Amino acid sequence: MRIASTTERSARHTLRTFAAVIVIWTTTSLSYYWLLGALRVEDGLNDAPAFYAAFYLAWAAVAFLAFRRSHFDWLTAEAVIRYVPAASLLAAGLFGIGAVAIPSLPGLPLGPPDGPPHPFEMTSAYFLPKSAEILLQQLLIATLTIELKFRHLSDIKVATLVGLLFGGAHMMWAVIYPEPVILFRLTFAALLLGTLAPWLMLRLRCGFLVSYTTHWLIYAWLAPLFWSA
């Protein structure tokens, strides 16, 4: 899925797009924590995986519909059908990793029991809602990427700007985890991922799928360190 544009948009359109992305991101994040109290759970991804998978899928649908005509009008039914086989194989592969391969690793968690604190706790149920959350984040990144290409910026500039925005958005973790080391690691990782994702989307034919997979595999790589039976 190669993202490109030959149409230029006004600065006002770009500001509206950025504002809409911020509203969706912020509302989703705040709703997640508000619903924890309503559901009486401490960790939505592990304690209520089916509910939060539906929650993030619903927000992904909202994001897609919000930008369907303005940013994804090139995504025709024929284009979607063309990528169904690749997406299906990818989904099966990621399911196998999250549901079978990682839980089968011996000696989990692999991290030292007296290691530094971290905000993650992963169980076999974690990857169901996390996969939906990553889809939402990738859609928002794609929206920003396309919008900046409307401004005829170079791929490097687009990747840099989106990386700064995605990394900066993770500064909200300071309210939840006011631990400087945690905040630095999360923000730095988000900065790198936010820079890499637009580059993949713009440069590769199946860039969105590759970007999604890269994002997902980062959590799969972390899972053995933070696993909880």
Cα separation, 139 vs 157, whole angstroms: 19
Cα separation, 93 vs 107, whole angstroms: 23
pTM above 0.85, yes or no: yes
Cα separation, 22 vs 25, whole angstroms: 5
Segment 173-217, tens digit of pLDDT:
667 666 777 778 788 889 999 999 999 999 998 899 999 999 999
Instruction: Give every CB contact of residue 215 below 8 A, 6+ residues apart in sequence.
Output: 134, 137, 138, 193, 197
H helix runs in 107-206, sequence order: 127-150, 155-169, 173-176, 180-203
Segment 134-166, tens digit of pLDDT:
999 999 999 999 999 999 899 999 999 999 999
Half-sphere exposure of 40 (CA within 13 A, CB side): 0
